[in-house]
Structure 1
Amino acid sequence: MRTSVVLFTCDLRLSDHPPLRAALRGGGRVVPLFVRDPAVDRVGFAAPNRLAFLADCLRDLDAGLRERGGRLVLREGDTVAEVCRVATEADADEVHMTGDVSTFAHLRERRLRQALQADGRRLYVHETVSTAVAPGAVTPAASDHFAVFTPYYRRWSEQGLRDVLDAPRTVGVPEQVDSAPLPERGDVSGVSPALRPGGETEGRRRLAAWLRSGVDAYEIRHDDLAGDATSRLSPHLHFGTLSPVEVVRRARGVGGAGAEAFVRQITWRDFNRQLLAARPEAATRDYRTRRDRWRGGRDAEADAEAWRQGRTGYPLVDAAMRQLRHEGWMHNRGRLLAASFLTKTLYVDWRVGARHFLDLLVDGDVANNQLNWQWVAGTGTDTRPNRVLNPVAQGKRFDPDGAYVRRWVEELADVEGGAVHEPWKLPARERSRTGYPEAMVSLAEGLERFKRARGQT
């Protein structure tokens, strides 16, 4: 009987899983394998929130496989070495895996292909597993990738999506292949107190609830900070407990303006992935340099630390940063505002902020995190690279009665209405009683400094 290895990476599910279905064709046996590779930790994955969520995902994946007569095999060590070792133990002649776009993923795939070929085995890499449309599937006439979102979205929307694949009914796994114990969330320290659970079961439950009662209003409510009216599916898309192909198809099945606005956000994931696939150096270097002279030294680091702690003196920025620390997740409007404040009001290098987000975000990945930071900083694909978001104006627009700020900034919990966005206007005694910090820089001063740095004055 033919045996294959399926290497799970960013695709921790059984439903709509092309590598798994390809490996099972003709009734073959499969080794469902996940490798905890120290090299992944060294490139920044080993953040507590993602490790805890990963533990949930692996245990749920194992449970789903056991319901089908199989099990998950966990190994620890170098991915290439462990895959080859498992393939030898199982006498497998092929390995299936999902394509990915980071430099690390490309190097891993290249090394694995070479090692397997040396052993007389084949590697099959499957696309449209972690994206709805494969990177490079649509390109403009004069380039290898789209650098502007809107024309990419138009072309992306014209692409036919593959069919959604059912989860397999049975999975036969060779008995002779041993597994390390699965990790547990409780073994991970430093996890955000309100980190939500991971796993395909939870992801599918959340998707069903979103399509049933949330997506219809998405177009008009997605920026409502206090309303928390987004899908919160980003961690499940990042870990692959949900298929973007299935998510898009099911959202389009609901139809309407809300569903289409939601699908547009899924397109942004694919847009960033096709960009990083073509320009992998954009993970650490400016996609489009503005010749910035970012602030450095003690003052800049002190400002960055106050930003990390949610102690800038600007309530909406601080609320967003405190939500991030408490939940390991942040509302998208909060992400935009927090990033704009760091890079343009404080004029601190976007890489400083991107690193902090990766340290805490459960959905943090290289493509979305780094390229969205560059978009806000003006070094990426934004066609208005010098735009600056005003945290007071943003608060009045997207948190008009201050409910989001009061939820996260406890010092201001007793300040009523929209006044919470400008605590410096409170009477002196009331202001002192809150214990909330003074604004670290005036918005006018920050804007002037940014304009000078970008050569606008």
Structure 2
Amino acid sequence: MTASPTILWFRQDLRLHDQPALVAAAGAGPVIPVYILDDESPGDWRMGAAQRWWLHHSLIALAKDLDDLGSRLILRRGHAVEILRALMDESGATEVHAIRHYEPWWRRAEQMLEDCLNLHDGNHLARPELVTTGSGRPFRIYSAFWKGLQEHLPPEYPLDPPKAVTAPAHWPTSEKLADWSLLPTKPDWSTGFDEDWIPGEATARERMAEFGEKAVAYDTARNMPSEEGSSRLSPHLHFGEISVRAVWHSLARHGDTETFRKELAWRDFTDGVVMALPDYADHNGRDAFDKMPWRTGAEAQADLTAWQQGRTGYPIVDAGMRQLWATGWMHNRVRMIAASFLIKHLLIDWREGERWFWDCLVDADYGNNAVNWQWVGGTGIDSNMFGRIMAPLSQSEKFDAGDYIRQWVPELKNVGDAAIHDPDEAGCRPKDYPAKIIGHREGRERALAAAKTMRG
């Protein structure tokens, strides 16, 4: 008698190595791997355009890897819970295996499937609900979280993939990836993505191996936009093409890599935040900011558009925003500068920037994106003080961003090192490059005055 198949539900865990749900499903008998494009459950937080580009290519890579194991990837579109129930009826499957997720819509879906769903840990260093305060609550301060995480480190060693996956007696029908229209066409704004990225597990593992030697210098190199000091692993981690514990253990033979490991732990921390506060992406972590007089209206909208297009007159900000549009990614230091500029210099609600990043970033995690924006804005439960306003011009000079600016703002390619960070002040701003939309001192004073009204 042939065993009934088991459904393997892929989400942001598009890999075969260190895939505990795959290992468990393969050990139970025939497996039906499925990916469901669910734009209904997330509501307003359905996947952004840049992520869809990545997903298209990542699913192609995953399908090929599964084919090499004698299996295939079934594609369905719709409400995930309804699709999985229908697949179980079609195939006779009685169980679903999946890796645990922490976005609020996935937690709701997991609860609705608890009668048949077997959840596995695989996307974190440690399950966020296990890293808690003495009273059993999730940590709200990262430094305390990092200290608490030490009790759970090192993480478990990554699992090897199965050597083969048993196919079911009958395969359910699959939709065609091309019919999902995940790639942009009119216009195709993704040409720079193809130059920068190759989605898929194979590339993720190559990047991990290449970064090992650089990780010891990460503490300094990560702040230098003109250097390649970042791991470039963030979209691969976001889509689960590589596990965080695989990256952690790959660093073991490379000396002191604590700074980068703390960045990996930050991802766990942000999932713990949204586990405790599911609507953190929509609401201020500090209630006082509900009274903040953010700018609105036509002038503010024009400033927002200038920021989105990289036309603010601040070269470091504009370089970052143009890099984001062209490649779906932005250097980490520049992300903070650009975010601070929008919130404080332009006094525009952090949620406007958060939404733009969600649509434009290939690595836009729900928790990471929300926590990072609220950290920069001073609105979060663990955040920078609102009064600490980054000075983009001095930041640009401090971190030697000249070559980075010339790469992404071609209008400034012939400006020398002494003037590249502030060509306006140096009196050599090219005619085709905009003047500053607001002065640094003016923007700072306006932001501080607005913050005072919350207390008044």
Q: Which residue pairs with 1:299 in the alignment?
A: 299
- In structure 2, what is the Cα distance between the partners aligned to 1:275 and 1:90? 38
Name the SS of the counterpart of 1:384 in structure 2: coil
Q: Which residue pairs with 1:55 in the alignment?
A: 56
- In structure 1, what is the Cα distance between the partners aligned to 2:299 and 2:177? 44
Kindly tell me: are residues 105 and 240 of structure 1, through their superposed partners in 2, closer, same or farther at Cα, counting changes over 3 Å?
Answer: same
Amino acid corresponding to residue 282 of structure 2 in structure 1? T
Q: Which residue pairs with 1:3 in the alignment?
A: 5
Q: Which residue pairs with 1:256 in the alignment?
A: 255
Amino acid corresponding to residue 7 of structure 1 in structure 2? W
- Whether the 8 Å contact between 1:47 and 1:359 is mirrored in structure 2 is yes
Q: Which residue pairs with 1:384 in the alignment?
A: 385
- Whether the 8 Å contact between 1:49 and 1:191 is mirrored in structure 2 is no
| Match 2:133 to one of 126, 129, 140 | 140
Kindly tell me: are residues 330 and 272 of structure 1, through their superposed partners in 2, closer, same or farther at Cα, counting changes over 3 Å?
Answer: same
TM-score (norm 2): 0.92
Q: Which residue pairs with 2:16 in the alignment?
A: 14
Amino acid corresponding to residue 119 of structure 2 in structure 1? V
How far is the alpha carbon of 1:386 from its aligned partner? Answer: 2.4
- In structure 1, what is the Cα distance between the partners aligned to 2:182 and 2:171? 29
- In structure 2, what is the Cα distance between the partners aligned to 1:12 and 1:220? 31
How far is the alpha carbon of 1:43 from its aligned partner? Answer: 2.9
Q: Which residue pairs with 1:363 in the alignment?
A: 363
Q: Which residue pairs with 2:244 in the alignment?
A: 244
Amino acid corresponding to residue 445 of structure 1 in structure 2? E
Q: Which residue pairs with 1:281 in the alignment?
A: 279
Amino acid corresponding to residue 80 of structure 1 in structure 2? V
Kindly tell me: are residues 240 and 342 of structure 1, through their superposed partners in 2, closer, same or farther at Cα, counting changes over 3 Å?
Answer: same
- Whether the 8 Å contact between 2:70 and 2:164 is mirrored in structure 1 is yes
- In structure 1, what is the Cα distance between the partners aligned to 2:377 and 2:254? 34
Name the SS of the counterpart of 1:436 in structure 2: coil
- Whether the 8 Å contact between 1:396 and 1:418 is mirrored in structure 2 is no
| Match 2:162 to one of 168, 172, 180 | 168
How far is the alpha carbon of 1:92 from its aligned partner? Answer: 1.2
Q: Which residue pairs with 2:342 in the alignment?
A: 342
Q: Which residue pairs with 1:455 in the alignment?
A: 452
Amino acid corresponding to residue 332 of structure 2 in structure 1? N
Q: Which residue pairs with 2:233 in the alignment?
A: 233
- In structure 1, what is the Cα distance between the partners aligned to 2:239 and 2:144? 28
Q: Deviations over 1:46-75 (max 9, x none)?
A: 433211211111111111111111111111
How far is the alpha carbon of 1:285 from its aligned partner? Answer: 0.1
How far is the alpha carbon of 1:162 from its aligned partner? Answer: 1.9
Q: Deviations over 1:110-163 (max 9, x none)?
A: 2333xxx4xxxx211222x22211111111124611111112112213313123
Kindly tell me: are residues 140 and 376 of structure 1, through their superposed partners in 2, closer, same or farther at Cα, counting changes over 3 Å?
Answer: same
- In structure 2, what is the Cα distance between the partners aligned to 1:200 and 1:208? 12
Indicate yes or no: 2:433 matched with 1:436.
yes
TM-score (norm 1): 0.92
What pairs up with 1:26-425 in 2 under 5 angstroms? 26=28, 28-39=29-40, 42-113=43-114, 117=115, 122-127=116-121, 129-142=122-135, 144-160=137-153, 161-174=155-168, 175-183=170-178, 187-189=183-185, 190-195=188-193, 196-211=197-212, 213-251=213-251, 253-257=252-256, 259-291=257-289, 292-380=292-380, 381-382=382-383, 384-399=385-400, 402-425=402-425
Amino acid corresponding to residue 333 of structure 1 in structure 2? R
Amino acid corresponding to residue 396 of structure 1 in structure 2? E
Alignment: residue pair count: 441
Name the SS of the counterpart of 1:75 in structure 2: strand
How far is the alpha carbon of 1:331 from its aligned partner? Answer: 0.5
Can you give the 5+ residue segments of structure 2 that lack an aligned partner in the other structure?
A: none
- Alignment identity in percent? 36
- Whether the 8 Å contact between 1:199 and 1:241 is mirrored in structure 2 is yes
